[in-house]
Amino acid sequence: MVALIAGASGLVGKELLALLLSDSACREVHSLVRKPSPQNHAKLQSHVVDFAKLGTASAQALPVSHIDEVYISLGTTIKVAGSQEAFRAVDFDAVLAVARTGLARGATKIGVISAMGASSASGVFYNRVKGEMEDAISKLGYPSVTIARPSFLAGDREALNQNARPGEKIALVAMNLFNPLIPSNYKAIEASDVASSLLRQVRKGVAGKTVLPSGQMQIH
């Protein structure tokens, strides 16, 4: 099968890409990136794209005739993005553009990283945008949709040249101290657990929309 992935430079995306490249069932992996990637692999083809233009000529120019599965791990924060509008451009617009690109090339299964608390009815802007994104993805026409809603991610963002997220660091320290008392959905989760859970569920091809809460993805 042929897979399309966006966001492979992030904590979960990096793990997803590694799983796809090592998977014997996957013969090609097309990775959408903002800048050239130094990673080389016989299965991997990286495509530098402007995510803001994916819905137009940029998408049509991608040298990919057919895709089976789509994996999206795009995301930022309002602080990093600089404004609510810029945040939405990544976490909603870019995600939808990638999903549409895959669907136009025949993809029938999609897996998307969202966030715990995502809801289009939320009073919290971050959670509301994530929820609206989930709703929009579900209405695109994919036969099988998988949404992963991880809690705080355990991983070294700085090693990936990403800005550290102070809130995550504080939460991880608190969770380590009170781990036995914290419900599974709220415990910090390894990015590798999220990636493997998402891949496994997407491969099942369950009809309709499946949501993976953080506790269900806890493997270790």
Query: What pLDDT digit, counting tens, does each position of 98-118 carry?
Result: 999 999 999 999 999 999 999
Q: What's the CA gap between 72 and 133, in Å, rounded?
A: 12
Return all residues near 50 (Cβ < 8 A) that are at least 6 apart.
Answer: 34, 58
Q: Are 145 and 155 in contact (CB under 8 A)?
A: no
Residue 219 within a domain: no
pTM over 0.75: yes
Q: How many domains does the chain have?
A: 1
User: In this structure, what CATH number is given to the domain that contains residue 69?
Assistant: 3.40.50.720
H helices then E strands: how many in the chain?
A: 9, 9
Residue 28 within a domain: yes
Residue 27 within a domain: yes
Q: What number is the average pLDDT over the span 148-164?
A: 69
